[in-house]
Amino acid sequence: MAAQADHIAENRQLVEHRIHSLNVSHKARCQAVQDQINRATNDKIVLMKQSELTRANADFSERMAQLRQFAEGGDIHAQPILFGTLKITTPE
C-alpha cells in the first residue's frame, strides 16, 4: 500500500510538471502566432495564422485532457497470484 501511495504521488507530480511545461510552451506558441498576426499585412496570411492559432488551442486542449487522464490513471494494484510455501535447497 505504501508503494502504491508513493507511485500515485510520483505520477501526479510528473503530470503536474508536464502540465506546467505544456502551459508555458502553449503561451509562447500563441504569443508568437499572435505577433505574426499583428504584423501581417496580407489578409490571407492573417487568416492562415488565425487558423494556426485555432489549431494550437485545440491541440493544447487535447493534450491537457490526456495529461489529466494520466494523473488519474497509472495506478498500481497488488493482488496475490500464488499461495504456498517456497522451499529453497542447495544442490549437493
Q: What average pLDDT does this structure show over 2-17? A: 84
Residue 68: C-alpha distances to residues 5, 17, 61, 74 (Å): 18, 12, 11, 11
Average per-residue pLDDT for the chain: 88
Structure pTM? 0.68
Of residues 58 and 7, more confidence is placed in 58
User: What percent of the chain is helix, strand and coil (3-state, nearest 5)?
Assistant: 75, 0, 25
- What's the pLDDT at 74? 60
73 within 8 A of 15, measured Cβ to Cβ: no
* Amino acid 82: pLDDT: 76
Residues 61, 53, 58, CA angle at the centre, nearest 5°?
20
C-alpha cell at 2: 505504501
75 backbone dihedrals φ, ψ, rounded to 5°: -85, 150
Q: What is the pLDDT of residue 56?
A: 96
